[in-house]
Amino acid sequence: MPLAAARSSLAALKTHASLNAFTALHPAPALLARVEEAAGRVADGKAKSPLDGQLIAIKDNIATADGLPTGCASKMLEGYVSPFEATVVARLRQAGAVVMGKTNMDEFGMGSHSTHTPHGAVHNPLSPSLSAGGSSGGSAAAVAAGLCHAALGTDTGGSVRLPASYCGIVGFKPSYGLLSRWGVVAYANSLDTVGILSRTTAVARDVFSLLSAPDANDPTCVSAATRARVAARLAATRPPASVPLRIGLPAAYNLLELAPAARAAWVQTLTALAARGHKIVPVELPHTRHALAAYYTLAPAEASSNLARYDGLRYGARADRDHDEGGTLYAPTRHEGLGEEVRRRILLGAYSLSAGRLQNHFLQAQRVRAMVRKDFDNVFRARNELVGGEGAGKQGVDVVLVPTALGPAPERSAAGSGVGEYVNDVLTVPASLAGVPSISVPVPGAVDEEGNSVAVGVQVVAQWGDEESMWRVAAEVEDMGS
């Protein structure tokens, strides 16, 4: 029942305060009052949805209009309260969900360990010394510790899936354009996706079903007509539930840097799925090796444009000094208001967009992105109905199964920064560049070289809009431990 679950979560909040998962919370009495109201509906058989009365946490870069600040874990937006609410948050409220608070994150979504934040690093519930992943580390830690029923994050290049793998939970990035981005503070518009973190695939699916709908406020949100057309054509090519699937095994993900625990979990999962009758098919994704470089050209370029607005004049906090020594109006404001990692990516992006580098950097990365997407289109059975293309037909695969991270969660002290940190996204950015759905599911029984139990996830990646095939395989991976 919602009330018992809420009381358990609020008790866990006190026990796990040291996780530093939240930046702001509603008072416990106010939350319990809302849950009690929903519990009455549930008891009367009038529940608004499966989420009625459930506590949901929201990442700090998703706008809420209930008095909770939306600060993006940045001094630049410290204390900012949005006058409007993100579409995904409004839909959660309409479904009866209770928004409990805002979660800690890497500033403006830029990071892989949730350490680039003025609120202090997020701690992994599995061990305080381990990285919780990023940038949605606060949402992942809150879910893993039982502080909420589910949480929303954002995934630009793996920011939901990576922390999910590190914390041993489910992290889902939908097809680009299925969930509205209205009210989400932009990092890289063409890559940003609202993601879902939960302890089970069933809960993630419930949340997705409630949020996946057109939104006139977001021009990148797919229309109802397109959704219906794609769903009908995918249903016509998708194998029935009684028929085994073809699961792709791409050698491009078998990197030298892959930790033994991650490789063993990958092999274990593929072996278990084969034992259930599914056919494991080697596939080629030749441009995967270029995906990370393309991502870290495109994402900072979009970020440098998006974050130009935070100058203390139009948006954001203003530094005490109006001018620096050279007479520049807002240099002190941006230096004091934006963290080191954000400033680094702004500089990287501005360089890629400069007149002398546009052709060789930004436009070349766009070409690589198109090739990465085409690689996926060439191996999936279903065609990409959003952009066209033939697909591979009956010789193609229904999903691709790959590791989520290079290994288990690293020690936070050894997590690295700058380019060393960027490597953590190498296995998640291809799906982001292609805009296809991907879900990280923890592998039951994963162990390291010493035989110690560790949290390791595998990704199930499907064709654009084919979340149905993805859910089927994800649920089977989840069931391996039962």
Peptide bond into 438 cis (omega under 30): no
Backbone angles phi, psi at 92, to 5 degrees: -65, -45
Nearest to 135, CA basis, from 77, 195, 91: 195
CB 152 within 8 A of CB 186: no
260 burial class (0-12, 13-18, 19+ CB within 10 angstroms)? Answer: exposed
- Cα–Cα distances in angstroms (integers) from residue 162 to residues 6, 14, 153, in the given order: 27, 26, 12
Residue 349's identity, in one-letter code, is G
List alpha helices for 276-363, DSSP H: 291-306, 331-337, 340-353
Helix (H/G/I), strand (E/B), else coil: 450: coil
Number of Cβ atoms within 10 Å of the Cβ of 230:
22
Residue 59 annotated as catalytic: yes
Question: Is 74 part of the annotated catalytic residue set?
Answer: no
CA distances 85 to 34, 69, 185, 409, Å, are 19, 11, 11, 33
The answer to whether the CB of 134 falls within 8 A of the CB of 114 is: yes
User: Within the chain, how many helices (H) and strands (E) appear?
Assistant: 15, 13
The rounded distance, in Å, linking the Cα atoms of 134 and 405 is 12
DSSP 162-174: HHHHHHTSEEEEP
Q: Tokens 């009038």 appear where?
A: 46
Q: Token pair for residue 254?
A: 């078998």
The dihedral sign for the CA sequence 258, 261, 265, 268 = positive
> To which residue do tokens 């920011």 refer?
159
In the set 159, 180, 198, 438, the catalytic residue is 159
> Which one of 59, 131, 304, 469 is the catalytic residue?
59
Instruction: Spot the catalytic one: 82, 112, 131, 135.
Output: 135
List beta partners, residue 461: 400, 438
* Rounded distance between C-alpha atoms, residue 269 and residue 19, angstroms: 30
Residue identified by tokens 């890289």 is: 188
Q: Are 145 and 123 in contact (CB under 8 A)?
A: no
Rounded-to-5 percentages of helix, strand, coil across the chain: 40, 15, 45
Count of Cβ atoms closer than 10 Å to residue 86 Cβ: 26
Task: Based on the residue annotation, tell me whether 135 is a catalytic residue of this protein.
Answer: yes
- Active-site positions read 59, 135, 159
